[in-house]
Amino acid sequence: MRAGLGLDQVKLAGSGSAPIPPGLIDWYRRIGLPLYEGYGMTEDSSYSHMSNAEHHAPGYVGVPLPGVQVKLSPEGEVLIKSPGQCIGYYKQPELTAASFTEDGFFRTGDLGERTPDGLLKLTGRAKELFKTAKGKYVAPAPIENRINAHPMVELSLVSGVGQPAAYAMVILAEHLRPRMKEAELRAQVEKEMHQLLQEINAAVSDHEQLHMIVVAQDPWSIENGFLTPTMKVRRGRIEKAMEPHVESWYATKRRVHWH
């Protein structure tokens, strides 16, 4: 199988930029390929965290590299002091001041958890947190990671600002999209999404449970402005585009919608 993938000569593989579903990391390891996640950013010259043979776990981005100090703020934001750390933003003193703590740690904007042996798990972005009508904050990224692990789903977005509960919008996998008008496929998708909704809601806290899943019929792309050039979801732009439809979705008792 590794030969078929062109990976039979690979001794060690690393991944960064965006999270990989833990189940996919497990799959690569089952076929004999050690796949380790790492974590870094431009502001620390990507010198921050890396998994290794001794310290690794699916869903975690590793332990601090030599010389890196890390701690969590009271709000759970990951704070890092790295030998590769920038001294600030060019001609932007206000942004520089806001980006560092008084003791020199960089505010990454990422939320995280740490194990006693130093393994770091990223749980979302501080700026992506949104509050539902119940006054509870929801971190969308961990829920989106669960949704994206489903074989029918290519991408997802969890939102619901000011709504009674969060909702998810999904883009179906590429091989399914040309058949989206087929009644048989739509019935199968709805059945799978109902099941996925139940599984997600059973695994998250009460205030994080999803009210519904919306299946988007048009894929998100760089061309339509819903993805960045690095293929990341433009959350705000998608939410704004969906704004005229959200109230009508919540007004029905349906749990799976097509848009």
pLDDT tens sequence across 157-188: 999 988 999 999 999 999 999 999 999 999 99
Predicted confidence at residue 23, as pLDDT, reads 83
Among 8, 65, 70, 17, CA closest to 41: 17
- Quickly state the pLDDT bin for 99 (edges 50, 70, 90): very high
Distance CA 201, CA 223 (A): 33
234 CB-contact burial (10 Å; exposed 0-12 / middle 13-18 / buried 19+) = middle
Which CATH number applies to 129-258? 3.30.300.30
Segments making up each domain of the chain, as ranges: 13-124, 129-258
Mean pLDDT of 27-53: 94
Instruction: Give the architecture-level CATH label for domain 13-124.
Output: Roll (2.30)
Q: For all residues of the chain together, what is the average pLDDT? A: 93
